[in-house]
Structure 1
Amino acid sequence: MIHRPAVSDAARHRSSLRAPEGAAPVTRPAERTDAAPHDLPAWDLSDLYAGPDDPALTADREAAGTAATAFRDRYMGTVAGLSGADLGAAIAEYERISETLYRLMSFAQLRHATDQTDPTVGRFYQGLHEAVTEISSRLLFFTLEINQIDDDALAERLTAPEAAKFQSWLRDLRMFRNHELPEAMERLLHEKDVAGRSAWVRLFDETLAHMRFDIDGESRTVTEALDQLSDTDRARREAAAKAIGQGLSGQTRLFAHITNTLAKDKQIDDQWRRYDHPMAARNLANQVEDSVVDALVAAVKDSFADTAHRYYGMKARWFGQDKLATWDRNAPLPDAEDRRFTWDQARDTVLSAYGAFSPRMADVGRRFFDNAWIDVPPRAGKTSGAFAHPTVPSAHPYLLLNFMGRTRDVMTLAHELGHGVHQVLAAPKGVLLADTPLTLAETASVFGEMLTFRSMLDAETDPRRRRTMLAGKVEDMLNTVVRQIAFHEFERKVHTERREGALSEERINAIWMEVQAESLGPAFDFDDGYKVFWTYIPHFIHTPFYVYAYAFGDCLVNSLYAVYQSGTVEGFQDKYLDMLAAGGTLRHRELLAPFGLDASDPAFWRRGLDVLKGFIDELEQVA
């Protein structure tokens, strides 16, 4: 997923944040990995600021405040009358101020992500968030006034090169014209966010970071506990699942209250902004039509029987069981080796796969390892899962991992490095033009995973290990496609029912179990503790309706990779890197056209799902 600071509506979520038990590979307890945490690289944030007391940070905050006030004094009430050249100059100044604010919040967010339990870090994050929110509220008038310009008048302004440079940003900005409120209301909502929605999100994050799960007498973080669900020892998996269920049950009342509050907050926002349904705002931000999302969801749901149900039925037979327990879902196959990778091996595996596709792509990826741009070791208080944060074009992205040495951790590295490469290539477009919608933001990450998997599979000659690798890939794809669409359906039902009143813990649990049973199928025996596993999924809290972007990206990449393998598109690699470098300047139709693909065609999604079905077919043959 991609994380952009909450500075304005135009600054949407830009970071890849993979849920540890959902689309994302799970992680491994620190003491059981091949490298102790102190042997693994940590990031150096000094390319942003030397520390919270850095004079440059204070100077930037003060300069941004002064510039925002001057900008408001100069342009408020005059935007509609600006010439094309002057409008372009004003947008360029708006971009410069925004970049400073993004740099400030990027530093605060990244620092907080590595230790969400330290109150000093939390206070610094909250204080800077409040300061940046107050400064950025002075700029809200600008985009609102732009959207009040008549279409013909704006088209005339765009004949000036200074304004034409920002044409795609203006195009995307004007999608929200019919959903904006008067400036005073927008400013009020913006400033209250730090004591509203953002405060609830922080409460969720820090509650989860503080939680510990007692597993066989050992205290585990949520990252460590979730990772044990992939242990080779079934008794250890069961112990972890029951500890997680018991621990989360003790906080279900709080998590249900957070969920109800944020869903109601979104409902109010949607009503005032005239969105027709709970997903409408997300689809608009993703620059994807409702019909395209509906086609994706329908195609995946129609595939449940031939993908998840078929695979997990086969897995139950491999385990010699009539039914799988929930703690068997991500379990290694019975004859699988507990293969571990050192950090150096993981790095070389991913860069080799990237390099075989494109040396230029590998060169960009190598910069993350040659510099301190990745925070790798799992630590108490560190956010679980993994993400890529683009920060600002004048700096560079940062990656956060919780590396434990499993094959799935190698895939997570390949995924997040794909985001990082994408962000580096798009950065020259500038803050306003580099942003990609979530649906396209997952393209580079999933493509990076596919390259790495194919490279590892092609190099493997042992039939048993190949079967293990195929099964692992199928499970990752099921987690990325089937499971994420189930998550999407859970969100859709919760938000729809919330419009009629608050949901009880029991009702939210019931919705969760309904969508899990539908998607995973009859091969599972769902234990009672599993009903609360919805509580720790960060996507539901951070970015409502993010999750379908994973399925969108996976199916898109499957189709894209099939074109690459076919060799029918000359210069595929250069076209692919050009697509990433376009940032947010092009829509999905324009980006996919050079490859002969069209996401609005229902057959597009079926073609992507056929890749998953083909892997399952191959597993049935080798089994």
Structure 2
Amino acid sequence: MRFERFSDRRLMAQEAVSTTSATLGDLPQWQLSDLYAAPDAEAFKADLAKAGVMSRDFETKWKGKLADAATRNGEQGLGQVLKEFEALEDLLGKIGSYAGLYYYSDMTDAARAKFFGDVQAKLTDYSAHLLFLTLELNRLEDSLLKAAIEGDPATAHYGPWLIDLRKDKPHQLDDKLEQIFLEKSQTGAAAFNRLFDETLASLRFTIDGEEQTLEPTLNLLQEPDPAVREKAAAALSKTFKENQRIFTLVTNTLAKDKEISDRWRKFEDIADSRHLSNRVERPVVDALAAAVEKAYPRLSHRYYKMKAKWLGMEQLNYWDRNAPLPEAANRTIPWNEAKETVLSAYGAFAPEMAEIADRFFAGGWIDAPARPGKAPGAFAHPTVPSAHPYVLVNYLGKPRDVMTLAHELGHGVHQVLAGEQGALMCQTPLTLAETASVFGEMLTFRALLDKTTDRRERKAMLAQKVEDMINTVVRQIAFYQFERKVHTARKEGELTAEQIGELWLSVQSESLGPAIRISEGYESWWSYIPHFIHSPFYVYAYAFGDCLVNSLYAVYQNAAEGFQQKYFDLLKAGGSRHHSELLAPFGLDATDPAFWDKGLSMIEGLIDELEALDQSA
């Protein structure tokens, strides 16, 4: 729904404030007062009431009259209908975005959770009054809709959205069924999503007698000391196992919920609903997955074998997978240095890109500190075109945290530019939504690499980038295959935690290769991956984006002037054009199976460079 999180949560104070540490410096917290001053602010209450009235009035005014509106222009025409609907989408999205961001700052706070749940319930009720629009539009004759688009400039503005909407037509149910699906979602899938979030936020992991939340514990897996990594892994495994009953229930319930929905909507494959929402064809995704799986030996298997040798081990333990190399500088990167690094890299590519990214720092659009109750991971939330996006990170000063900042700011820049399309056409399908984020990471990495002349430092940087790319491509396709196995098996009945763990280990072993020792404890690590819960089959979008950006960056390196403008045109398009149309100006075609091999070859090339550096030592 429009008010769900993006890829991903609320507020520690009503104004932008900072958390200071001796090593990280001042860490900003976001300023949600750009949306509303507080949950009990008069402006928020007024907008919530206004949204309810507008939704009911919109239904009364237009329900059953869209066929007639399609034959008219002006204030009685279809263009006017969509203009009013877009304004409603923006208002509802603003309300939902505030409630979500306020909640995600501390999901263990009962008052915030209640506020979020109450707002979600109201927005779902309001949306029920708007449900008729898309259903009724898709019952219009093709010829009538075509004539409306061609005959009325106001309707023509929304032409891409109307044409795109027709793709959902084969899977729509009748009005009453759609309303039941919508209203029951808040006590079904949405409720289990919230249970997962609040459970994850409340988990504590004990290391040497001290309790920590998830993010700092995961961060210890990047420590140079192998004993610290092993203790962190043991703590993670212990807590995950203790909570397997809840995570297993959530997974079983949501997989069954999806199976019921897919059956009623007549989707053939378990991932087809995701492909449809991504506006990508199943053969394209199948080709991507097949290309990555075929490349496992050349990428992850080969790299981890090299890394085991660098660390003086026959095999890496699963908790050593992201361990730093001996060559890696073991220092904490202050926030201001991370900021300058990313903005400098963005500015070298295009000053406009750096200017947009700088607004996030200057305007209080970023929440950076890791703190109890805060949503784990990182995300960029687009909110609505009438406002601005927000970025959440859990910044702990690691090199990967700098890359995460570059990634999420890439999303943010994309969301600002796509906002020009308006509330109906600004949302980019997930396959292209990762383009700007991964491209931002690549710009930052290349800028840092170009400044590095020391062989040992260069090796450490290349290794980290290869690991990030393996995590983005190989690991995400393994996640995708794990989800396919889980959802397929669930059709035969409920799965035990042990069965889910076996499926998890099977894909992990295959993707990571023989250089990684997968020992007892790792079977429960599927538990904390939020994408499995919030966006089933989302994960292949990361691999799609990484391979696409690898190809796109190769074009950039060899391009004459004009690449930047074409790139900004791609971002500004939002969801108004298909990926094939947006990639054509760059000479790229994701429907060509060889396209994925080009993207994967860049990762292989970096591994080649690492091997050459190793041999020259």
Contact 2:590 2:596 in 1 (8 A): yes
Q: 1:205 pairs with 176, 197, 206, which one?
A: 197
Cross-structure match for 1:615: 606
Contact 1:181 1:273 in 2 (8 A): yes
Q: How far is 1:16 from its partner? A: 3.2
Q: How far is 1:17 from its partner? A: 2.8
The one-letter amino acid paired with 1:69 is R
Q: How far is 1:32 from its partner? A: 8.4
The one-letter amino acid paired with 1:141 is F
Comparing 141-150 and 499-508, the one that deviates more: 499-508
Cross-structure match for 1:24: none
1:561 and 2:550 matched? no
Q: Structure 1 residues 33, 5: closer, same or farther in 2, change over 3 A?
A: farther
1:573 and 2:564 matched? yes
Provide the rounded CA distance (Å) in 1 between the counterparts of 2:119 and 2:251. Answer: 26
The one-letter amino acid paired with 2:600 is L
Q: Deviations over 1:243-271 (max 9, x none)?
A: 10011000111101100000000000000
Q: Structure 1 residues 271, 61: closer, same or farther in 2, change over 3 A?
A: same
Q: 2:137 pairs with 136, 146, 158, which one?
A: 146
Cross-structure match for 1:9: none
Q: 2:111 pairs with 104, 120, 125, which one?
A: 120
1:108 and 2:95 matched? no
Q: How far is 1:461 from its partner? A: 1.2
5+ residue gaps, structure 1: 7-12, 19-29
1:410 and 2:402 matched? yes
Cross-structure match for 2:53: 66
Q: 1:595 pairs with 583, 586, 601, which one?
A: 586
Q: Deviations over 1:436-483 (max 9, x none)?
A: 100000000000000000000001111101100000000000000000
Cross-structure match for 1:5: 3
The one-letter amino acid paired with 1:35 is L
Q: Deviations over 1:126-173 (max 9, x none)?
A: 011101110111100111000000111110010111111011111221
1:582 and 2:582 matched? no
Q: How far is 1:334 from its partner? A: 2.3
Provide the rounded CA distance (Å) in 1 between the counterparts of 2:53 and 2:20. Answer: 49
| Local SS of the residue matching 1:528 | coil
Q: 1:399 pairs with 391, 394, 397, which one?
A: 391
| Local SS of the residue matching 1:214 | strand
Compute the RMSD of aligned alpha carbons.
1.3
1:378 and 2:370 matched? yes
Q: How far is 1:335 from its partner? A: 3.1
Q: Deviations over 1:556-593 (max 9, x none)?
A: 000000000012x5400011011101111111111111
Q: Deviations over 1:349-369 (max 9, x none)?
A: 000000000011111111111
Cross-structure match for 1:174: 166
Cross-structure match for 1:306: 298
Cross-structure match for 1:528: 520
Q: How far is 1:189 from its partner? A: 1.3
Cross-structure match for 2:319: 327
Q: How far is 1:33 from its partner? A: 7.4
Give the percent of matched residue pairs that are identical in Structure 1 and Structure 2.
54
Contact 1:491 1:545 in 2 (8 A): yes
1:42 and 2:29 matched? yes
Provide the rounded CA distance (Å) in 2 between the counterparts of 1:374 and 1:335. Answer: 32
Contact 2:327 2:457 in 1 (8 A): no
Contact 2:328 2:461 in 1 (8 A): no
Contact 1:481 1:550 in 2 (8 A): yes
Contact 2:335 2:397 in 1 (8 A): yes
Q: How does 1:174-573 map to 2 (within 5 A)?
A: 174-567=166-559, 569-573=560-564
Provide the rounded CA distance (Å) in 2 between the counterparts of 1:613 and 1:31. Answer: 40
Aligned residues: 600
Highest relative contact order (Cα 8 Å, sep 6+), 1 or 2?
Answer: 1
The one-letter amino acid paired with 1:442 is E
Contact 2:389 2:415 in 1 (8 A): yes
Q: 1:55 pairs with 26, 42, 54, which one?
A: 42
Q: Deviations over 1:255-314 (max 9, x none)?
A: 011000000000000000000011000001111110000000000000000000000000
Q: Structure 1 residues 32, 250: closer, same or farther in 2, change over 3 A?
A: farther
Q: How does 1:127-166 map to 2 (within 5 A)?
A: 127-159=118-150, 160-166=152-158
Provide the rounded CA distance (Å) in 2 between the counterparts of 1:313 and 1:601. Answer: 31
Contact 1:16 1:389 in 2 (8 A): yes
Q: How far is 1:339 from its partner? A: 2.8
| Local SS of the residue matching 1:391 | coil
Q: How far is 1:75 from its partner? A: 1.1
| Local SS of the residue matching 1:434 | coil
Comparing 529-538 and 184-193, the one that deviates more: 184-193
Provide the rounded CA distance (Å) in 2 between the counterparts of 1:164 and 1:590. Answer: 19
Q: How far is 1:31 from its partner? A: 10
Q: How far is 1:4 from its partner? A: 4.5
1:94 and 2:85 matched? yes
The one-letter amino acid paired with 1:574 is Q
Provide the rounded CA distance (Å) in 2 between the counterparts of 1:285 and 1:525. Answer: 37
TM-score, normalisation: structure 1? 0.95
| Local SS of the residue matching 2:527 | helix
Q: Deviations over 1:541-566 (max 9, x none)?
A: 00000000000000000000000001
Provide the rounded CA distance (Å) in 1 between the counterparts of 2:426 and 2:380. Answer: 15
Provide the rounded CA distance (Å) in 2 between the counterparts of 1:431 and 1:410. Answer: 31
5+ residue gaps, structure 2: 10-18
